[in-house]
Amino acid sequence: EDQVTQSPEALRLQEGESSSLNCSYTVSGLRGLFWYRQDPGKGPEFLFTLYSAGEEKEKERLKATLTKKESFLHITAPKPEDSATYLCAVQDSLYNFNKFYFGSGTKLNVKP
């Protein structure tokens, strides 16, 4: 069964304290891995898509990387406005490629 697990569930950082969020997945084949940011009371907002192991994408203080079994979202020198819940989702490539599987998210709190 396809599964997506995110860790940690919650992360508290001081402003400027870099860290990484993890998304591990078990799918029959990966067609795409997506990272989203979700603010309280709002719908998820797209950040990155990764398609193959070794791929990296960057946007401001965020960098996403992908291996064959997991993805990391690295946050460099975070600011309070980076506080949000970060979600990852995978698209299977073999049996259910029209379905998406989401992790339960990492809630990030950046203190000034």
Partner 1 sequence: EAQVTQNPRYLITVTGKKLTVTCSQNMNHEYMSWYRQDPGLGLRQIYYSMNVEVTDKGDVPEGYKVSRKEKRNFPLILESPSPNQTSLYFCASSSIKAGSSYNEQFFGPGTRLTVL
Residue span binding partner 1 (CB under 8 A) among the ranges 10-18, 61-69, 71-79, 83-91: 83-91
Among 64, 66, 73, 89, binds partner 1 (CB under 8 A): 89
Smallest distance from partner 1 to CB 33, Å: 11
28 scored as a contact of partner 1 (CB under 8 A): no
In terms of CB distance, is 1 or 60 closer to partner 1? Answer: 1
59 scored as a contact of partner 1 (CB under 8 A): no
Tokens 């000034």, residue? Answer: 112
Residue type (1 letter), 99? K
Burial 79-107 (b: 16+ CB within 10 A, else e): eeebbbbbbbbbbbeeeeeeeebebebbb
Q: Which of the 8 DSSP states describes residue 40?
A: T
37 and 106 Cβ atoms separated by less than 8 Å: no
32 scored as a contact of partner 1 (CB under 8 A): yes
Among 15, 18, 26, 45, binds partner 1 (CB under 8 A): 45
